[in-house]
Amino acid sequence: MEKVLVTRRISENALAFIKNSGYEPTVYTELTNISQEDLIKMCQGYVALLSVGPNKIDERFLSACPQLKGIALMSVGYDKVDLEAANKHRIPISNTPDVLSETTADTAFLLMLAVARNAFYMNKSIERGEWNFFDPMQNLGQELYGKTLGILGLGRIGLEMAKKAKAAYGMDIIYHNRNRNEQAEKEVAARYLSFDELLMQSDVLTVHVNLTDETKGIFNKTAFSKMKPNAIFINTARGAIHNEEDLIDALQNKTIWGAGLDVTNPEPMQKDNPLLNMENVCVLPHIGSATKETREKMAMMAAENIVAALKGERMPQVINPEVYEG
């Protein structure tokens, strides 16, 4: 029976699907990250990898594991994968798009509202025993009704966020993409702007792009300086898209009003990070897709991709289809 290495615990249904398809899954159950060297050693004797977590899939890894028939990522993002190397070694790679769009948009929406009302900091103030005298001019947030939501990366997740914001608060939607999204322009009356215009006009700016060389560090001191002083910055995509030192500086100097992060740079965040003690900041530990239903769907999709690869079939969610050409 051919063996599949699964790098973290996933749903029993997904494991059962792999096993019932005629393959033997082995799950790494230690609650620690696996170094690339250890992952290479572990993969020997396995014909497929279901990769969960920040495992680096590059030339070094792929050349050391040429027996792999397929690698399924249990994530949408694939910034840890060298696709050129995967194509060179003819190894198909898949991800899990679509199934977490609504859940991740929910997290962005949660952060937007929480930042607007200083919710996390106000909760901590109760623990500190500061809920005493009522001062009508303290603890003031800001309303979202009729404000402008800017979206960098108006794809599936961005569109779900736009729909929620428009339905709940009647927000105007503006966006910047590499290509225009005509569907979003029809559904939520989204207006396409340049990146600089997006920065200058957004009351809330939410990030839903992949991490690439182009987007890495795109939210830096220069970008924050162009945003409104009442602006809320939301990032549920990848932490490296924003420069964290520049973000801290922008918040401390009131260049922008607040920030909501489900991703940080670096990640995990250190407990003494100043962002955690700012009144106008809400931080979550990368839980954008963390619901039972979504993680189940992600695991099943990854399992289906693995089984397809092992059967010599095209992975349904392959991200490097070039390997099937010719």
Q: In which element (H, E) is residue 205 found?
A: strand 204-207
Instruction: Check: CB of residue 153 under 8 Å from CB of residue 218.
Output: no
Q: Side by side, which strands form the sheet with 70-73?
A: 24-27, 3-6, 48-51, 70-73, 93-94
Annotation marks residue 156 as catalytic: no
What are the tokens at 43?
């993969």
Q: Which one-letter amino acid corresponds to residue 183?
A: Q
| DSSP assignment string, 243-305 | -HHHHHHHHHTTSSSEEEESS-SSSSPPTT-GGGG-TTEEE-SS-TT-SHHHHHHHHHHHHHH
User: Which residues, including other chains, have CB under 8 Å from residue 212's CB and lie 6 or more apart?
Assistant: 79
Q: Is-catalytic flag, 267?
A: yes
The active-site residue out of 8, 176, 242, 286 is 286
Query: What are the backbone angles phi and psi of residue 114, rounded to the nearest 5°?
Result: -65, -40
Nearest alpha-carbon partner for 320 in 91, 77, 80, 4: 91
Please confirm, yes or no, whether 238 is among the known catalytic residues.
yes
**Which of 117, 156, 208, 238 is flagged as catalytic?**
238
Say if CB 133 and CB 321 are below 8 A apart.
no
Distance CA 70, CA 110 (A): 36
Q: Which two tokens stand for residue 207?
A: 């990030």
223, two tokens: 């970008």
* Catalytic one of 185, 187, 267, 296: 267
Residues catalogued as catalytic: 238, 267, 286
